[in-house]
Amino acid sequence: MLQDEIERLARAAEDALKNAIAPYSGFKVGAAILSSDGKVYTGCNVENYSLMLAMCAERVALLKALSEGEREFTAMAVSCSDGEACFPCGACRQMLFEFAPNLKIIVSSKDAIRVFGIKELLPFPFVKPE
């Protein structure tokens, strides 16, 4: 991936976290997923007073893209309101892996932008039996 594509996706994730609805945790997360045809879909975390129902930014972005008909993805960027590196949770890793096993995960913090492979972050995924 080109450096300017990485930075563009990281900025989209940073912008998306401004829409986060996180009154209970105070922790805002933004995500942006890039489809193979070059479209960007963003997501933010959305919390609910029934606390278990909180939705992660990563899955909001993925579900938005899937529901628009996208099926192939190349990269996702994640950004958090505290400026520290924010990695997708285990549930998001599992779901991202199933739809995009070669996905690049761009983790941006105030200090650096780093790129990982989803397989690096989820070395032993749950997979469908043959």
Q: Is 27 in the site for ligand THU (CB under 6 A)?
A: yes
| CA end-to-end span of the chain | 32
Q: How far is CA 35 from CA 21, 65, 88, 130, in A?
A: 25, 8, 18, 27
> How many C-beta atoms lie closer than 10 Å to residue 98's C-beta?
14
Q: Is 107 in the site for ligand THU (CB under 6 A)?
A: no
- Using CA atoms, how far apart are residues 14 and 19, in angstroms rounded to an integer? 10
**106, β-bridge pairs:** 77, 115
- Is 47 part of the annotated catalytic residue set? no
Q: Is 92 in the site for ligand THU (CB under 6 A)?
A: yes
Near ligand THU by CB under 6 A: residue from 5, 8, 15, 22: 22
Least distance from ligand THU to the Cβ atom of residue 27, Å: 4
CA torsion 5→10→15→21, rounded to 10°?
140
Near ligand THU by CB under 6 A: residue from 76, 88, 107, 118: 88
CB closer to ligand THU out of 34 and 76 = 76
CB closer to ligand THU out of 37 and 84 = 84
Looking at residues 43 to 82 of the shown chain, list those that interact with ligand THU (rule: CB under 6 A): 45, 47, 54, 56-58
E strands within 7-125? 29-35, 40-44, 73-80, 104-108, 113-117
Which one of 14, 47, 58, 70 is the catalytic residue? 58
Residues near ligand THU, by CB under 6 A: 22, 25, 27, 29, 45, 47, 54, 56-58, 88-89, 92
